[in-house]
Amino acid sequence: MNGEVAPCDATRTEGQSLPTMRFAPIVTAVLVALVLAFLGFRLWQFSRLWPQTSSEVVQFTPEKRVLLQRLRAETKFLPHRYPPLGYTGAATPADQARATIAVNRVIDAVLAQQNGPIRAKVVSELIGNEMAAVDPLETEDRDRTGGYMVEIWYLLGFKGATGRFAYGSAHPKPHGYGEPLPPGWTAPDKPRPIT
């Protein structure tokens, strides 16, 4: 008290005790670890929504080629009332053109194949590339594009999953198939009329 100043403890800040400061980094590290574990778990759950891509190989026949040519020639993205949800048509003519181009590119790539074996993984990759091209479109138009892609999948005769879509309970899958029926189809072997 004779005018001397007590030495300052540089490791403590005003109002904190030494034990609190030692536990703060530990508590922070534990919280960060918990958050990272939670995010990892959620990512794992999210990845399980999409089924594995089928490893099937089917025969591309002249009959299937004719069906795909008819589907390619069809005017797409018109309104319909096919279950389960129906479709009001493309939001704009530009969106209709963009989505039609995406569907036709998949069809064209398949039609460019020789008759004979065709692998599901090749078709799934084509579908994935073109679905990415329509990502900016409205949800209803993206969903309808997906319906056309699944229709191509069924027309080719694949039974497994494309690995590109996740569905809720409004889209039941036929027994033995990895994808729900495309819009307008009543059974895996009963397609809608292609106009």
How crowded is the C-beta side of 73, counted as CA atoms within 13 Å? 9
- Residue 19's region, left for phi above 0, alpha for psi from -120 to 50, else beta, is alpha
Residue ranges of alpha helices (H) inside 48-180 are 62-73, 93-111, 120-133, 139-156
Signed CA dihedral, 101, 177, 50, 156: sign only: negative
Q: What are 131-167's pLDDT values in tens digits?
A: 999 999 999 999 999 999 999 999 999 999 898 887 7
Question: Would the pLDDT of 88 be above 90?
Answer: yes
Q: Structural domain boundaries of the chain?
A: 15-48, 52-195
Percentages helix, strand, coil for the chain, rounded to the nearest 5? 50, 5, 45
Q: What is the pLDDT of residue 13?
A: 55
Give the pLDDT band (50/70/90) at residue 171.
confident
Alpha-carbon separation of residue 55 from 108, 157, 161, 166, 178 (angstroms)? 22, 13, 9, 18, 12
Write the burial class of residue 46 (CB in 10 Å: 0-12 exposed, 13-18 middle, 19+ buried): exposed
Q: Which residues contact 57 (CB under 8 A, 6 or more apart)?
A: 117, 118, 119, 120
% of the chain with per-residue pLDDT over 90: 55
**62-73 helix and 93-111 helix, angle to the nearest 10 degrees:** 160
What mean pLDDT is predicted for residues 53-64?
94
- Return the SS3 of 43: helix
Distance between CA 185 and CA 71 in Å, rounded? 14
Confidence class for position 25, pLDDT limits 50, 70, 90: confident
- What's the chain's average pLDDT? 86
Q: What is the pLDDT of residue 82?
A: 82
> Does pLDDT of 119 surpass 60?
yes
